[in-house]
Structure 1
Amino acid sequence: MNLVVGALALFVSSFMADASHPGVAIAITKGDEVVAVRGFGHDSSGAPVTGHTKMAIASVSKSFTALAVRQLADAGRIDLDRPVFDSRVTPRQLLAHTSGLSDRTLPEKSLAQPSSPAEAVDRAREALRDARPDGRFRYTNTNYHLAARLVELASGQEFGSYLRDHVFAPLGMTETVAIAVTPRDLPPDFRKGYGYAYGVSVPLTEPDRFVAGSDGVVTTAADMARWLAAQPRLAPRDGMGWQADPQGRLRHSGIWFTATAGQLLTKSGYGIAVMSNSGVTLGNEGTYELENGIAEILDGGTPAEPSSYRLLLDLVLGAVTLLSIGLGVRALRRPRRFAKPWQALRFVPLGLLLALPVLLGLLYGGGRDITFFQLAHYSLPLVVWLGVSSVMNISVAVVRWRS
């Protein structure tokens, strides 16, 4: 076991260095036994990350929401197959992301943010009326915002209080809380996570977002070990807060703009939870590779070497930004006459910049919603490049149009 622990520490440290993660905490279980709880690196105050450092688990929180709904269903207070909120949508479909709702039918990040699950339901009324569940998987946080409200209506408790009393406390998760809005509700001993740009990790405040039910659990590695150790008797089911990966393992990932996380249950009986204080960025889409590597080591294999294109992508974007400045300055200093209609092409970078939130959502997120402010958290170098290129090209177009 000492050799395994050493191999795990080396792999996690290599991953952190390669992918620029300042702090990581892990929890490992085998069956209902805790194998390891450990922190690596530091938080944004400079303090070492430990097994008791509070960290966001983002959408891993959905597993807790699904458990709450199942508890109330088992108690006869929620009918998983009866439509709710005057719609065709059932609780089972909400939990499985087959409700017909999506970020395209309700752009949950771009719209005004609710402050409670009740307000989230009000915001979703029209989309719910139009929703046609057709069995297709469409991932959206809105499904779990609505599930949180179901918990409140069935239990008579505020959602976070229900999780505290019926999930966290029974499992001994005394360091865990569920919040409704970031950053408003974050615990006082929670430290900011990090954004990343041009090879530098910078402490950032998580953007204002509604997270109740979807991604609002803040916890520690020690408490996640208790959660994982309870899974053999909780019997998680695919589509109910967990998802099956290509290997048939149950898992769920989580991303904030200032944190990433993941949990994995292996076929050999291991439970793995990973939390990082480095947010989702271009080239860092989560801790999937880290979870897989830990699982490989625990099963006696050799993990693939950590590989991250995070720094390379930012350096390339930095280089093309400088190139755009250089070419723009040259064109302004040595204006030449071109056919004026061609100057319209110089507005293409501006068009790309304005369309970027939609394009990224379609290309990388299956239609997921993102605001311009959040986009700057995701990839500041990309926004800067398109912004600089837009300014330079428009300036040249104006000068040549007038010449």
Structure 2
Amino acid sequence: MILWGAALTLLVSTYMGEASLPGVAVAITKGDQVIAVQTFGHDSSGAPLTENSKMPIASVSKSFTALAVRRLADAGELDLDRPVFGSRVTPRHLLAHKSGISDSTLPEKSLPQPDTPAQAVERAREALAKAVPDDEFRYTNTNYHLLARLVELASGENFNAYLKTHVFEPLGMNDTTAIDVTPRDLPPDYRKGYGYAYGFSVPVTEPHRFVTGSDGVITTAADMAKWLAAQPGLDPRDGMGWDADQQGQLRHSGIWFTSTAGQLLTSSGHGIAVMANSGVTLGNEGTYLLENGIADLLDGKESKPESHRLLIDLVLAALTALSLGLNIRALRRPRRFPKAWQVLRLVPLGVLLALPTLLGLLYGGGRDITFFQLAHYSLPLVVWLAVSGGMNLSVAVVRWRR
């Protein structure tokens, strides 16, 4: 165990250095037994992370919502296959992200944010009316916002209170809570997560978002160990708050703009939860690689997860400097070009304006993101396109006039 613990420390610490993660918390179980709860690094106050440090698990929260729905269904309080909210959508569709609703039909981050699950339902009325459930997977937080409201209607309780009474407390997760809106409802002893750019991590406030049912659980490494240890008796299922990976293992990842998390149930019977206090960025799409590295370590395999986060930002910094230099030279040494060619200089600016949509379509599976959130996701990318677009526009205007 001592040698294994040393290997875990080396693995996590090495990856933290490469990925510039200020703090990481890890919980590991075998069957229904907790075998390790370990923390690394510090929080944004500078204090060392502990097993009781409050951290968000983002969309890992969906597995808790799914458990609440299943329990109400098992008690006969909710029918998984009965259409809800006057639509053709059933709770089973919502659980599996096969409701026909997507971020394209309801841009849940760009629209005004609700304060309650009831308001989330009202916001989704039009999308629900038009939704045609099918077998196509379309991931959107809206599905789980609606499930939170179903839990309230079936139980007669506030959703977050229901989780506390019927999920957290029975499992002994006494330091775990669920919130409605970030950053408004974060616990007083919660410490900010970090944003990242150009190799530097800076404490930042999570953007304003509605998170009930989808990604609002705030917990600790110690409590996540209890959650994982309970899974053999809870019978987690693919399509109900958990996803099956290519190896058939159940898992779910979670990303905030200021933190990331993930949970994994391995084929060897281990449960792994990882929480990091650094947000999603280009090159840091969650704790997936670290979870896999720990799983390999537990199975006696050699593994070295690598992060290219710094390299990506350095490339973007170089492109920014190159764009700046070339455009300054173009302004100082003007040459005559056909006016039609100057239109091409508007391409970077057009890409910047379309970037939220482009990222959603090409990289995020159609996910919605605002410009403000985009700056959290990759400030170096936004800076490069803004500098390149702005300078190109200046050069184009000068040459057009000449």
How big is the shift at 1:390? 0.9
Q: Which amino acid aligns with 1:224?
A: M
Please give the alpha-carbon distance, in whole angstroms, between the structure 2 residues aligned to 1:269 and 1:386.
46
Show the counterpart of 2:55. Answer: 55
Give the match's secondary structure for 1:170: coil
TM-score where L is the length of structure 1: 0.99
Give the aligned residue type for 1:379.
S
Amino acid at match of 1:113: Q
Q: Offset at 1:337?
A: 2.0
1:46 corresponding residue in structure 2: 46
The residue that corresponds to 2:134 in the other structure is 134
Match of 1:98 in 2: 98
Alpha-carbon distance between aligned partners in 2 of 1:360 and 1:190, rounded to the nearest angstrom: 30
Alignment of 1:20-169 (within 5 A): 20-169=20-169
Matches within 5 A, 1:209-358: 209-303=209-303, 305-358=304-357
Task: Measure the CA separation in 2 of the matches of 1:87 and 1:240.
Answer: 20
Give the number of equivalent residue pairs.
402
Q: Name the residue aligned to 1:372.
A: 371
RMSD in angstroms over aligned alpha carbons? 0.7
Where do 5+ consecutive residues of structure 1 fail to align? none
C-alpha offsets along residues 262-291 of structure 1, whole Å, 9 cap, x if unaligned?
000111111110000010000101101100
Other-structure match for 2:200: 200
Cross-structure match for 2:380: 381
SS of match in other structure, 2:365: coil
CA distance in 1, matches of 2:283, 2:26: 21
Structure 2: any 5+ residue segments left out of the alignment?
A: none
Partner of 2:398: 399
Q: Is the 8 A contact 1:18 1:306 kept in 2?
A: no
Identity of matched residues, %:
77
Runs of 4+ deviating beyond 6 Å: none
The offset of 1:134, in angstroms, is 1.0
For residue 259 of structure 1, report the CA deviation from its aligned partner.
0.4
Whether contact under 8 Å (1:253, 1:262) holds in the other structure is yes
Task: Using the TM superposition, give the Cα deviation of residue 9 of structure 1 relative to its aligned residue in structure 2, in angstroms.
Answer: 1.1
Query: Which residues in structure 2 correspond to 1:178-189 (within 5 Å)?
Result: 178-189=178-189
What CA distance in whole angstroms lies between the structure 1 residues aligned with 2:47 and 2:137? 41
* Distance apart, 1:4 and its partner CA: 1.1
Work out whether residues 206 and 256 of structure 1, in 8 Å CA contact, stay in contact via their aligned partners in 2.
yes
Range that drifts further, 3-12 or 212-221: 3-12
Could you say what secondary structure the match of 2:163 adopts? helix
Which amino acid is 2:315 matched to?
Answer: V
> Is the partner of 1:394 in helix, strand or coil?
helix
Shift of 1:340: 1.2
Contact residue 106 and residue 124 of structure 1 kept, 8 A: yes
**SS at 2:361 equivalent:** helix
**Normalising by structure 2, what TM-score?**
0.99
Give the match's secondary structure for 1:171. Answer: coil
| Aligned equivalents of 2:321, 2:300: Cα separation in 1 | 47
Residues 136-173 of structure 1 show CA distances to partners (whole Å, capped at 9, x for unaligned) of 11111000000000001111111110000000000000
Partner SS, residue 203 of structure 1: strand
| Whole-angstrom distance in 2 between the partners of 1:167 and 1:230 | 11
Q: What is the CA–CA distance in structure 2 between the aligned matches of 1:116 and 1:260, rounded to whole Å?
A: 24
Whole-angstrom distance in 2 between the partners of 1:39 and 1:385? 36
User: Aligned partners of 2:292 and 2:330: how far apart in 1?
Assistant: 50
